[in-house]
Amino acid sequence: MVREQIILTPTLDVLSRSVWNGPELYEPVRFFANLGGRIAVGNDHPYRRTDAGMPLKEMHFLHRAGLDNSAIMTSATQTSAAACGYTDRGTIAPGMVADLLVVTGDPLKDISVLAAPTHIIKDGVFVR
């Protein structure tokens, strides 16, 4: 998968609700990441046990799997956009679709700040 640039979306939030919940849940993700594999953030919403919105539980599970906050943010932005086939989003750059969360704090230090955005910009339009 790594050699073929296949993106893994582990959906640990869903799997954590199964008999696999435990340290062994994280090992395949840790192994894949250590090989240089690309990981996207996703939680299989609208699966009946997952929440809509920011998949913070999934991000926390990725942290338990060994990803640092920088890798998690890349997984949630660039890699998730690539997994969906988007080339016009996932980074902040001229010509990209402007979907932004403005938060108080630094998600590279504390990913939880994403739970309370102070402003939201969707498709370049200020939402709140």
Calculate Rg over the CA atoms of the chain: 15
Looking at residue 47, its pLDDT comes to 67
pLDDT in tens, 14-26: 888 777 777 888 9
pLDDT in tens, 48-74: 666 666 789 899 999 999 999 999 999
pLDDT in tens, 88-106: 999 999 989 878 899 999 9
Looking at residue 48, its pLDDT comes to 66
Rounded to the nearest angstrom, the gap between the alpha carbon of residue 80 and the centroid of all alpha carbons in its chain is 7
Q: Across the chain, what does the average pLDDT equal?
A: 89
Place of tokens 């370049």: 124
CA atoms within 13 A on the CB side of 124: 7
User: What spatial distance separates the first Cα and last Cα of the chain, rounded to whole Å?
Assistant: 40
Looking at residue 76, its pLDDT comes to 94
